[in-house]
Amino acid sequence: MQIYSFPPISNADSKILILGTMPGNDSLKMNQYYAHPRNAFWKIMFAIFDQPFSSDYSVKKNLLLSNQIAVWDVLKVCERKGSLDVNIIEEEANNFNDFFEKHIHINHLFFNGQQSSNYFIKNQQSRIPFTKLPSTSPAHTMSFKEKLKAWSLINKHLNK
């Protein structure tokens, strides 16, 4: 069965693009990026910007946009059993040429985990610098504190 990614969370002011691979099953069911309750993505974002955590999805999206961050997935469509990226087959990448033409201020890409960077490099050519970050997925068994420390690098690129 094919699954499809979501449209990006972005605006014309976005300076950073965070890329996942493909939404997991919980995210697909809820039509929200990083919806699995144990995924650390949103908790990390609120912590980075020293904001109280909110479970309201519109507040989450506004946090990103107000801090010039865009979020999208490398893949547009694929087949996958379960939520793990290693189970992806028959993938097709999103159109990043159009995205970058519309988002001219993007100056850095951050990959949420190794697989997203692998698929991007396999399918795209970009001169935009990038950083691979540890996956926020609960399947990646790094502590929250370690993930937060690694992800805090985002602030450096926002202040350019």
Question: What percent of the chain stands above pLDDT 70?
Answer: 93
Q: Domain containing 29 — which CATH number?
A: 3.40.470.10
Q: Which two tokens stand for residue 87?
A: 């189970």
pLDDT given for residue 75 in this prediction: 93
Confidence class for position 1, pLDDT limits 50, 70, 90: confident
Name the region of 31 (left: φ>0; alpha: ψ -120 to 50; beta: rest). left
Confidence class for position 160, pLDDT limits 50, 70, 90: low
Instruction: For residue range 52-63, list pLDDT tens digits in order.
Output: 999 999 999 999
- Total domains in the chain come to 1
Q: With b meaning 16 or more CB within 10 Å and e meaning fewer, what string describes 108-142?
A: bbbbbbebbbebbeeebeeeeeebbbbbbbeeeee
pLDDT given for residue 86 in this prediction: 66
Residue 81 has pLDDT above 80, yes or no: yes
Instruction: For residue range 93-117, list pLDDT tens digits in order.
Output: 899 999 999 999 999 999 999 888 8
Structural domain that includes position 6: 2-158
